[in-house]
Chains A and B, each alone.
Chain A
Amino acid sequence: MASHFVTSADIPANGERLQNATVSKVKMIAGGLCAILSVVSLFLLFGPNEGWAATYAYSWLFALFFFFTLAVGGCFWTLLHNVSNSGWGTSVRRIMENLGSVYPWMFLFAIPLLCPAVQQYLYEWMTIHREGLSQDNVGLFDGFMAGFYGSDSLQGWLNDNHHALLANKLWYMNLFAWYTRFIFYFVGLTLVIRGLRKLSVEQDSDPNPGTVRLFKARFHSTYTLIIFAITITFAAFDWLMGLDYKWFSTMWGVYIFAGTALNSMAVIIITATLLQSAGYMKKVLTPEHFHIKGKLLLAFTIFWAYVTFSQFFLIWYANITEETSYFLIRNTGGWNTGMIFLVFGHFVVPFVILLQAWLKKNPKLLSLVAVYTLVMHVVDHYLISIPERSISLMNILPDKFGHVTTAVPGAFWGDVLAFVTVGAGFVFFYLRALGANNLYPNRDPRLLESANVSN
C-alpha cells in the first residue's frame, strides 16, 4: 500500500468535521425515539402492572449492560492506545474517545437499577437485606468501616434467619458497599474519559501543538487503566453475577471484559467505515488501519472463546453446586440451543472468516463481520441476563409466574423494547460526540506516522 505517501500538505490544517444532513437527521430520530420509549419504559418499570415491571426489569438490565459494555470498551481502547504509546491508531483515536465519551451518559440508563422497586425483582439478596434492615436493632452502619464491609447486627440477623451464605458474603454483598461501588463506577471512568478526550481535543486548535499532551495522556492512562479494570469487573459482578446471589464464577470479570473489548472494536470499525464512505478521513485512514483493527477483532474473538470455555470448563469439571447452577439453567430447553449456537456463532465462524488477511483490508467486508460480531454479542448478553428471569420470578412472585417454565411468555417484546430504547440513546449520544469535534486529531504529531502505517 505504498502507492501514495501522505504528507502534512494532504491533511486539512483545521481537520475535518462531521457536517452531514443525514447524520443530524439520524441523531434527531434516535434522540426522539429514546425520549419517547424511555417514558414507556418508565411506565413499564414503575407502573401499576406488577407482571410487566418484574419482566421488564430484566429486559432493562440486558439492554443496559449490552450498551454499557460498548461504551466502556471505548474507554478501554482509548486508555490502551495511550498507554501502549501506539502510533498506528492516532487517526482512529478520536473515534475511540468518542465511543468512550458515551459512557457518562450510560448513568441515565442505569438509574433504574438504583431504585428498590426495580431491585426487588433483580436482586433477591437486596430484598433479604432490606427485610433484615427493617427489623429493630439492625443497622446499616454498625460495622467495620462504617458498615462498608457489612454491619454486625445484619450479619447476626442473617445467621439467625438461616441465610448463612448471605452472612458469609456480607463483606462484599451489602447495600452500602453496592451503592458506593455503583457511584464509583460512573464517577471514576467518567473523569478518566472526559480528561483524556479534553487533552486530545484541545490539541486540535493549539497553534503550537507539541508532544506535551501526548506524554500527559500517556502518563494519566497508566494508573487509570486500573479504574477501568475495576469498573468492568465489578460492575459485571454487581449487576449480572448478583442476579443469583448463590452463584459465583472467578472468570466472570474477564469473560465480560473479553466481549467488551471485542465488540467496542467492532463499533469502532463500523464507525470508521461509515465515516470513510461518507467522504471523511480519506487521507488518514488506509486499508492498513482496517487490517490492524481486523487483527484485534480476531484476537479478541479468540480471547473471548478462550475465557468463555475456561469458565465453562472449570465449572463443569469441579461440579460444585454453587457454580453449576448457571449452566444448569442455560443448558435447559431452548437456552441450550442458544448456548451451543454461541460456540459456533461467536467463535468458530468469525474465527475462520477473520483468518483471511485480504478480508481484513476491505473496510466493507470487515464491517459486515463487525456487525455479525455485534449480533452475537446481543445473543451472548441475552443468554447472560434473561434465563435467570423465569427462575427468579417463579420464586419472587409465585402467584403470577408459578406456572412459567424456562421462559416468560411474551416477555421477549419487552426485551426488544428495552434494547431499542437504550440503543437509540446510545446512537444519539455517540453521534452527538462524533459531531462535536474534529473526526481525527489533526494536529497530533504522530498523525503522519499513523496515516502512512504499514503492517
Chain B
Amino acid sequence: MSTTRKRVYGYLAEFKSASALYKAAEKVRDAGFRKWDCHSPYPIHGLDGAMGLKRSILPFFVFFGGCTGLATGFFLAYITQVRIYPTVVQAKPANIFTVPAFFPPMFELTILFSGFTVLFGLLALMKLPRLNHPLFASRQFHRTTDDAFFIAIEARDPKFSPDGTRSLLEEIGGSNIELIEEED
C-alpha cells in the first residue's frame, strides 16, 4: 500500500464527438462551473462561447506593448540622429521634420514589441512553462491528441462535489468518467 498522500484534482469525462463536447460544454457552463476545461484534438469554432469564456485581456496588453515599441523606436532614432549626433543625409535637416526617416524603425519596433508582448503575455496568462499536469496521470487522456474529446472539472471549483459533479457529467453524456488524483 502506497504511503504517499493523494489529492483529488477533479473529474475527467469523455465525449463521443466535437458536437457532443460542444453541447456538454454549454451545460457545464450553465451549471455555473468556473474551474474546468475542454480538451479536443483540434480547435472547435465557437467553443469559447459555449464555455462562457470571457475575451482575453491579452490584446489590451499588446496595444500598450506596441505603443511602447513605437515610442522606443522614435526616441532611439530621435536622440541618436538629432540630439547626440546630428546626421545630415542628402541635405535633409536633422530635426523633428526628419521624422519620415524614423518611421521604418518605429514600425519595426512596434511589431517587435507587440510580438514579444503576445509571446510572453500568453505564456504568463497560461502559467507556462510547467513541468507536469495532473491530467497526464490519466491513461485515456493521451487520446486527446488523437481522437477523443474530454471535459475536466477541477475539484477546486466551489460548485464541485464528488457525487453531484459525477452525476452531472453522466447526465450530459460523458462516458469513462475518471477521478484524477495528484500527488500532494
- Write the chain B residue with the least CB distance to A312: B100
How far is the CB of A328 from the nearest CB of chain B, in Å? Answer: 15
Contact partner of B100 among A316, A319, A355, A454, CB < 8 A? A316
Q: Pick the most buried of B46, B55, B90: most chain A CB atoms within 10 A of its CB.
A: B46
A1/B90 in contact, CB under 8 A: no
Beta-carbon contact of B49 and A313 below 8 Å: no
Is there an interface contact between B46 and A1, defined as CB atoms closer than 8 Å? Answer: yes
Find chain A residues with CB under 8 A from B91 CB.
319
B46 touches A357 (CB 8 A): no
Contact of A313 among B45, B90, B100 (CB under 8 A): B100
Q: Is the Cβ of A357 less than 8 Å from the Cβ of B59?
A: yes
User: With the chains together, A454 CA to B103 CA distance in Å?
Assistant: 36
Query: A1-B46, A2-B50, A357-B55 known; A309 and B103 CB under 8 Å?
Result: yes
Complex CA distance for A160 and B46, rounded to whole angstroms: 72
Interface residues of B in 74-104 (CB under 8 A from A): 90-91, 100-101, 103-104
Residue B9 is within 8 A (CB to CB) of chain A in the complex: no
Minimum CB–CB distance from A303 to chain B (whole Å) comes to: 13
CA distance A312 to B101 in the complex (A): 11
Chain A residues within 8 Å of B49, by CB: 1-2, 454
Interface residue B63 (Cβ < 8 Å from any Cβ of A): yes
Could you tell me the distance between the alpha carbons of A1 and B49 in the complex, rounded to whole angstroms?
Answer: 7
- For B46, list chain A residues within 8 Å (CB): 1-2, 454
Q: Binary interface profile of B, 57-76, with partner A (CB < 8 Å = 1, else 0)?
A: 00100010000000000000
Among residues 301 to 322 in chain A, which have CB atoms less than 8 Å away from a CB atom of chain B? 309, 312-313, 316-317, 319
B17: shortest Cβ distance to chain A, in Å? 15
Cβ of B88 to closest chain A Cβ, rounded Å: 13
* Chain A: minimal CB distance from B138 (Å): 29
What distance in Å separates the Cβ of A251 from its nearest Cβ neighbour in chain B?
14
Q: Which residues of A contact B22 (CB under 8 A)?
A: 2
Q: Judging by beta carbons under 8 Å apart, are B63 and A355 in contact?
A: yes
- Give 1 or 0 for each of A286-309: 1 = CB within 8 Å of chain B CB: 000000000000000000000001
Contact A317 B50 (CB under 8 A): no
Distance in angstroms between the alpha carbons of A145 and B104 in the assembled complex: 44
Chain B residue nearest to A319 in the complex (CB): B90
Residues of A within 8 A of B101 (CB): 317
Q: Which one of A2, A313, A357 contacts B103 once the chains associate, using CB atoms below 8 Å?
A: A313
Docked CA distance A316–B103 (Å): 13
Q: A123–B24 Cα gap in the complex (Å)?
A: 69
- Inside 8 A of A455's CB, which chain B residues have their CB? 45
Residues of B within 8 A of A309 (CB): 100, 103
Complex interface bits, A313-346 against B, C-beta within 8 A gives 1, otherwise 0: 1001101000000000000000000000000000
The CA of A139 and the CA of B46, in the complex, are separated in Å by 68
Cβ contact within 8 Å between B45 and A454: yes
Contacts of B55 in A (CB 8 A): 357
Q: What sequence of 0s and 1s flags, for each residue 354-367 of chain A, a beta carbon within 8 Å of any chain B beta carbon?
A: 01010000000000
B20-50 residues at the A interface, CB under 8 angstroms: 22, 45-46, 49-50
Residues on the B chain within 8 Å of A1, using CB:
46, 49
What is the CB-to-nearest-CB distance from A427 to chain B, in angstroms, rounded to a whole number? 37
A23–B100 Cα distance when bound, in Å, is: 47
The interface residues of chain A lying within 8 Å CB-to-CB of B103 are: 309, 313
C-alpha spacing A317/B89, complex, angstroms: 9
Which chain B residues border A319 with CB–CB below 8 Å? Answer: 90-91
Across-interface contacts of B104 in A (CB, < 8 A): 313
User: Whole-angstrom distance from the CB of A286 to the nearest CB of chain B?
Assistant: 11
Alpha-carbon distance A66/B22, docked complex (angstroms): 48
A422 to B96, CA, bound (A): 42
Query: Which residue, of A2, A312, A316, A319, has the highest number of chain B Cβ atoms within 10 A?
Result: A2
Min distance, Cβ A218 to any Cβ of chain B, angstroms: 23
In the assembled complex, the Cα of A66 lies from the Cα of B103 at a distance in Å of 29
B11 → chain A closest CB, angstroms: 24
CB distance from A28 to the nearest CB of B (A): 44
25 sampled A-B residue pairs with Cβ under 8 A: A1-B46, A1-B49, A2-B22, A2-B46, A2-B49, A2-B50, A309-B100, A309-B103, A312-B100, A313-B100, A313-B103, A313-B104, A316-B100, A317-B90, A317-B101, A319-B90, A319-B91, A355-B59, A355-B63, A357-B55, A357-B59, A454-B45, A454-B46, A454-B49, A455-B45
